[in-house]
Amino acid sequence: MAALKILVIPGSLRTGSHNVRLAMAAAYEFARAGADVTRISLGDYPLPIYDGDLQAKSGVPKNAVNLKRMMGAHHGVLIVTPEYNASIPSLLKNAIDWITRVQDPHESRGQVFREKPFAIAAASEGRLGGTRALAALRLILSACHATVVPNQLALSFADQAYDDMDRLQKEADIEALKALVTQLIEAAQRMM
Ligand SMILES: Cc1cc2nc3c(=O)[nH]c(=O)nc-3n(C[C@H](O)[C@H](O)[C@H](O)COP(=O)(O)O)c2cc1C
């Protein structure tokens, strides 16, 4: 069987981002589990704020098409999101909104969300660890008819969660990440 390909998308561009660090830790675990893992930055896919007039005039931007195709080239997707005002950042929501508008030949719109499983994680300096952003992201992905694996990881007190090598320190966080990674891999294998 071809190597399982997993895409990891952090929802932050910030230097020193807790969510990018969590995405890196997750990518490491996926690689340890034998997956072929790609971690991207949404900064490499700059997009205007979604506007129906813009889409009508100029079509869907190339970066949205490329992002959708990057998702399409993988068997499973992990999204690692910050929590902004109890929801996901506009950076991530805007990327998802544009991706849902991509219409590739011989595909139905939104097929890329339906044909592979998603896993979700969040990191926040707060006690709730981005739980509300996870609820929002699960709702959005479910509205796209995506399969979202039941486990999720809300990394609380994220400013204290990593060691000097950007590895998670707490056993409970490490185990939760491993469980999430295993669940996405198993779901992706079932849907391949
Ligand atoms: C506009 C804004 C809103 C925020 N709202 C929340 C929030 O509702 N809950 C929370 O736990 N943290 C909130 N935060 C703090 C972020 O979770 C924190 O800045 C986090 O480090 C951002 O993720 P990053 O480190 O990956 O960039 C907010 C930050 C910003 C800038």
- pLDDT tens-digit readout, 106-155: 999 999 999 999 999 999 999 999 999 999 999 999 999 999 999 999 99
Domain boundaries, the chain: 5-191
SS (H, E, C) 29-63: HHHHCCCEEEECCHHHCCCCCCCHHHHHHHCCCHH
Distance separating alpha carbons of residues 129 and 44, to the nearest angstrom: 26
Q: For the segment 160-169, what is each residue's pLDDT rounded down to a tens digit? A: 999 999 999 9
Q: For the segment 59-94, what is each residue's pLDDT rounded down to a tens digit? A: 999 999 999 999 999 999 999 999 999 999 999 999
In this structure, are residues 99 and 64 in contact, taking their beta carbons and an 8 Å threshold?
yes
184 pLDDT tier (thresholds 50, 70, 90):
very high
Distance separating alpha carbons of residues 39 and 26, to the nearest angstrom: 10
- The average pLDDT across 29-41 equals 98
Q: Which of 81, 125, 131, 137 to mutate to test ligand 1, by most ligand atoms within 8 A of the CB atom?
A: 125
Give the residue among 114, 123, 130, 132 at the shortest CA–CA distance from 77.
114
At 97 the pLDDT is: 98
Distance separating alpha carbons of residues 67 and 167, to the nearest angstrom: 28
CATH architecture of 5-191: 3-Layer(aba) Sandwich (3.40)
Q: Which of 15, 21, 84 to mutate to test ligand 1, by most ligand atoms within 8 A of the CB atom?
A: 84
Distance separating alpha carbons of residues 104 and 89, to the nearest angstrom: 26
Distance separating alpha carbons of residues 122 and 19, to the nearest angstrom: 7
At 170 the pLDDT is: 96
Q: What residue ranges line ligand 1, CB within 6 angstroms?
A: 12, 14, 17-19, 82-86, 123-126, 128, 130
At 94 the pLDDT is: 98
At 1 the pLDDT is: 60
At 2 the pLDDT is: 73
